Amino acid sequence: MRITALAGGIGGSRFLRGLLRAIPDAEVTVVGNTADDITLHGLHVSPDLDTVMYTLGDGVEESQGWGRRGDTSAVADELAAYGAEPRWFTLGDRDIATHLLRTRMLTAGYPLSAVTEALCDRWRPGVRLLPMTDDRVETHVVVAGDGDGQERAIHFQEWWVRLHAKVPARRIVLVGIEQAKPAPGVLDAVAAADVIVLPPSNPVVSIGPILSVPGVRDAVTVAGAPVVGLSPIIGGAPVRGMADAALTAIGVPTSAAGVAELFADLLDGWLVDSTDADAVPAVEAAGIRCRAAPLLMTDVDAAAAMARAALDLAEEVRAR
Ligand code: GDP
Ligand code: CA
Residue 320 buriedness (CB in 10 A; 0-12 / 13-18 / 19+): exposed
* Ligand 1 pocket test target in 34, 206, 242, 259 with most atoms within 8 Å of CB: 206
Q: Are 201 and 246 in contact (CB under 8 A)?
A: no
Distance from C-alpha of 140 to C-alpha of 156, rounded to nearest angstrom: 5
CA proximity to 18, closest of 308, 303, 313? 303
**What average pLDDT does the segment 70-88 reach?**
97
Whether residue 157 has its Cβ less than 6 Å from ligand 1: no
Q: What's the CA gap between 7 and 87, in Å, rounded?
A: 28
| pLDDT for residue 94 | 98
CA of 205 to the centre of ligand 2 (A): 7
Is there a contact between 10 and 241 (Cβ–Cβ < 8 Å)? yes
Euclidean distance between CA atoms 29 and 212, whole angstroms: 18
pLDDT at 220: 98
Q: In this predicted model, what pLDDT tens digit does every residue of 243-291 receive, in sequence order?
A: 999 999 999 999 999 999 999 999 999 999 999 999 999 999 999 999 9
Grouping H, G, I as helix, E, B as strand and the rest as coil, residue 164 is coil
d(CA 262, CA 270): 12
pLDDT tens digits for range 295-314? 999 999 999 999 999 999 99
CA 298 to centroid of ligand 1, rounded, Å: 12
Rg (CA), the chain: 19
Domains of the chain: 2-62+99-134+181-235+255-318 (3.40.50.10680)
Whole-model pTM over 0.85:
yes
Q: Which helix (H) or strand (E) holds 272?
A: strand 269-273
Q: What is the mean pLDDT of residues 47-61?
A: 98
